[in-house]
């Protein structure tokens, strides 16, 4: 996302949600407002949009982007883990579409002081919400070797997690992105590799600092419950851990029975609440990837509410 590029999978999101006049829509990861702008334009003249984001920098940009539609949009600095509470507070009916664009945005990566990227030396921060108490530097400098190794291996799928965590403890305190990236590059020389050897570790720290997987698990049931019958939930993920959570939830909630496969009689009484619009995730085309390299790893899954 961000001002430099059209939002990832923009046209596919518009096709998935099919915004209509007088509809109610929620952008749970507002960012700079690109997807939200498309929804508001497509739902003229009376469609309404709720945009939420924990990042005040993103909200400031989105307010500028969406200013022409101020009457039909409500933008709040909140976490999408409170979606049900927010919708109740503003007394909205069941909604017609929800979009989640998971992970960090291009704007966050492109703002050095936020500490998401190692392209420039900056404070090791990585918080989506600058007001939350624990930064990446706090985590790096206080967690045990075993805890760091677990985070780097689990969230970064980094095979050298133990070696990296040992090196971090030897070099602590570490306060900047440059310090950490340099440490990892010395430990794991690039040897012509296109991807920087610190990439997986930075991803892991960002996920841990913002509890990204935990927040996805919290929002999914709230999002489904917020949809009117026929309403759609569209989710863009950027790595396999996110996509796996979304895929498993969609598969689980699109089945009438979740009993073990060999159990002869259903006893679970589970009823499907959604249907998957696509079984395999939608990926960006070559043209979009050429214009925005960060789109390369994007995957879009879509589900539709089938019961009240």
Q: Which residues are annotated as a binding site for S-adenosyl-L-methionine?
A: 33-35, 53, 80, 101, 108
CA distance 83 to 26: 9
State the binding site: 33-35, 53, 80, 101, 108
CA distance 162 to 189: 16
Q: Counting Cβ atoms within 10 Å, is residue 14 exposed (0-12), middle (13-18) or buried (19+)?
A: middle
CA distance 65 to 217: 30
User: Is-contact 75 63, C-beta < 8 A?
Assistant: yes
Query: b/e for 224-258, b at 16 or more Cβ within 10 A?
Result: bebbeeebbbbbbbbbebbbebbbebbeebbeeee
Which residue in 246, 240, 224 sits closest to 304, CA to CA? Answer: 224
Which residue in 138, 120, 129 sits closest to 175, CA to CA? Answer: 138
Q: What HEC string does 248-278 produce?
A: HHHHHHCCCCCCCCCCCCCCCCCCCCEEECC
Tokens of 209: 């600092």
Distance of alpha carbon 161 from the chain centroid? 24
User: Is-contact 185 179, C-beta < 8 A?
Assistant: no
Segments of 19-116 assigned E as strands: 24-27, 48-52, 73-76, 95-101
């Amino acid at each position: 996302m961000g001002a430099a590029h059209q939002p990832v999978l923009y046209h596919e999101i518009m096709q998935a949600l099919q915004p209509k006049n007088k509809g109610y829509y929620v952008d749970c990861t507002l960012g700079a407002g690109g997807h939200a702008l498309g929804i508001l334009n497509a739902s003229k003249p009376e469609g309404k949009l709720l945009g939420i984001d924990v990042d005040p920098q993103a909200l400031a940009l989105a307010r500028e982007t969406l200013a022409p539609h101020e009457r039909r949009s409500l933008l709040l600095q909140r976490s999408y883990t409170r979606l049900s509470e927010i919708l109740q507070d503003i007394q909205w009916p069941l909604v017609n579409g929800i979009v989640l664009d998971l992970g960090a945005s291009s704007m966050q990566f492109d703002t050095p002081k936020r500490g998401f990227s190692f392209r420039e030396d900056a404070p090791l921060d990585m918080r989506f919400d600058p007001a939350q108490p624990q930064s990446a530097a706090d985590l790096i400098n206080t967690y045990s070797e075993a805890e760091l190794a677990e985070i780097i291996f689990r969230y970064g799928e980094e095979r050298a997690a133990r070696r990296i965590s040992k090196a971090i403890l030897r070099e602590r305190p570490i306060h900047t992105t440059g310090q950490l990236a340099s440490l990892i590059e010395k430990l794991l020389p690039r040897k012509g590799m296109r991807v920087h050897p610190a990439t997986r570790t930075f991803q892991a720290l960002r996920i841990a600092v913002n509890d990204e997987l935990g927040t996805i698990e919290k929002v999914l049931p709230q999002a489904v419950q917020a949809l009117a019958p026929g309403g759609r939930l569209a989710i863009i993920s950027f790595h396999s851990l996110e996509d796996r959570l979304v895929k498993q939830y969609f598969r689980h909630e699109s089945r009438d029975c979740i009993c073990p496969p060999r159990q002869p009689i259903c006893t679970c009484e589970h009823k499907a609440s959604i249907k998957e619009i696509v079984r395999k995730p939608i990926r960006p085309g070559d043209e979009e990837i050429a214009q925005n390299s960060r789109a390369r790893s994007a995957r879009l899954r879509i589900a539709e509410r089938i019961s009240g």
